[in-house]
Amino acid sequence: MPVGLLGKKVGMTQVYNEAGEIVPVTVIQAGPCPVLTVRTKDRDGYEAVQIGFGDKPRRLATKADRGQVADIESKRKKRLEQGGRTLDAKAGVEPQYFIREFRTEGEEHGLTVGQKLDVNHFAEVKAVDVIGTSKGRGYTGVMKRHNFSGLGAAHGTKKVHRSGGSTGQRSDPSKVFKGTKMSGQYGNTRTTIRNLKVVKVDLENNLLLVKGSIPGPAGQYIVIRHTNKFD
């Protein structure tokens, strides 16, 4: 899979297309994403590219955060150097808020550590997938979570108006089947929206406009990848 981008959901608005029709779009602040590490089969056992997004202020970053992205003095480095080994080159950027890897199994990506990917990456792409975390709704009943109809509002229904009703029947089967829809935690899960059309790429402001909505609240970090769904 080609390397995608990381970004932040800005919010939704509308734009007009060439035909003069309104298109609902989600604005994503995508990139610039520095390449932090290139994983190789020999060293790591798998091939991938690790990229970051969003500069973390030094006061919030741990030393480990800084060591991941830049060459800093450490005991380990000193020890390795004494043993005649050198650490791999670092990207030399600020600590990053959001770091993800993209698997590149047997693929020529031509990316090197320290290189910056910007939104132009998607300039020629028609559609993308967006991966984010959906809005958490907490512990929810079946009406909200699974669109159950609930029980009657009147005709003698007492205290169970939003109930899901029976789940285990009587003597047969006298158990609750696995996977039965019940109340529980709703939202706050990893959610992928596939095949979102790219409407516009704004390199100057690092903005990516995709048609339709994406999971999660505005300001959330998201992963944008080339779509694997083609219609």
Q: Of 18-26, 67-75, 153-161, 180-188, which segment contacts another protein by CB under 8 A?
A: 18-26
Using the minimum distance from each CB to another protein, give the nearer residue, 20 or 106. Answer: 20
**Binding to another protein by residue 57, rule CB under 8 A?**
no
**Binding to another protein by residue 218, rule CB under 8 A?**
yes
Whole-angstrom Cα Rg for the chain = 24
Residue of the chain from 2, 11, 136, 184 that contacts another protein (CB under 8 A) = 11
Q: What is the DSSP string of 137-175?
A: -EEE-HHHHH----S-SSTT--S-TT----SSBBTTB-S
| Whether the Cβ atoms of residue 122 and residue 199 lie closer than 8 Å to each other | no
Strand partners, 106: none
Q: Least Å distance between CB 109 and another protein? A: 23
Q: Of 19-27, 82-90, 101-109, 129-137, which segment contacts another protein by CB under 8 A?
A: 19-27
**Binding to another protein by residue 70, rule CB under 8 A?**
no
**Binding to another protein by residue 68, rule CB under 8 A?**
no
Q: Of 24-32, 76-84, 162-170, 189-197, which segment contacts another protein by CB under 8 A?
A: 24-32
**Binding to another protein by residue 205, rule CB under 8 A?**
yes
Q: How many residues bind another protein (CB under 8 A)?
A: 23
Structure tokens at 96: 């990053």
What SS3 class is residue 108? Answer: coil
How far apart CA 216 and CA 25 sit, in angstroms, is: 15
Q: Which residue type sits at 153?
A: A
**Binding to another protein by residue 200, rule CB under 8 A?**
yes
- In whole angstroms, how far apart are CA 177 and each of 136, 144, 168, 182, 225? 26, 21, 7, 11, 37
Structure tokens at 18: 């060439």
**Binding to another protein by residue 59, rule CB under 8 A?**
no
**Binding to another protein by residue 55, rule CB under 8 A?**
yes
For the chain, percent helix, then strand, then coil, each to nearest 5?
10, 35, 50
**Binding to another protein by residue 54, rule CB under 8 A?**
yes
Q: Least Å distance between CB 138 and another protein? A: 25
| Whether the Cβ atoms of residue 107 and residue 2 lie closer than 8 Å to each other | yes
Residue numbers 76-105 binding another protein by CB under 8 A:
94
Contact footprint for another protein (CB under 8 A): 10-11, 13-16, 20, 22, 25, 27, 29, 32, 54-55, 94, 200, 202, 205-207, 209, 218-219
